[in-house]
C-alpha cells in the first residue's frame, strides 16, 4: 500500500492478500477499476479509471493484480 494508506478512511485494499483477492472475480475488479468505488457501492474516494484506461488496459491491470496476490482468477 502507499505511504499515506494508514491515514485514509476507509483504508485501501491490500492487493497482495491472496485470501481477500481470491474472493473478487475478474468482473468485480473490472467494474471497480472502470467505474470507481461509487459504481460498486464502495468508497467514493476510489476514482473511476474508465475515462483514462481502455478495456485492454483495464484487463492488463487485472492480470497484474492477480500476479501481485498470486491468487486464482476466472
Collect the ranges in the chain with pLDDT lower than 70.
Answer: 1, 73-74
Phi-psi region of 47 (alpha: psi -120 to 50; beta: other; left: phi over 0): beta
Do the Cβ atoms of 58 and 33 come closer than 8 Å? yes
Domain count, the chain: 1
**Does residue 28 belong to any structural domain of this protein?**
yes
**Does residue 46 belong to any structural domain of this protein?**
yes
**Does residue 74 belong to any structural domain of this protein?**
no
> Structural domain of residue 13, as residue ranges?
5-69
State the pLDDT at residue 71: 82
Locus of grid cell 460498486: 40
Q: What is the pTM of this model?
A: 0.82
**Does residue 12 belong to any structural domain of this protein?**
yes
**Does residue 24 belong to any structural domain of this protein?**
yes
Amino acid at each position: 500500500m502507499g505511504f499515506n494508506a494508514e491515514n485514509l478512511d476507509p483504508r485501501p485494499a491490500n492487493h497482495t492478500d491472496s485470501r481477500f483477492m481470491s474472493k473478487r472475480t475478474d468482473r468485480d475488479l473490472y467494474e471497480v477499476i472502470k467505474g470507481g468505488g461509487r459504481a460498486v457501492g464502495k468508497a467514493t474516494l476510489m476514482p473511476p479509471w474508465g475515462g483514462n484506461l481502455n478495456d485492454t488496459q483495464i484487463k492488463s491491470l487485472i492480470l497484474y493484480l492477480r500476479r501481485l496476490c498470486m491468487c486464482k482468477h476466472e
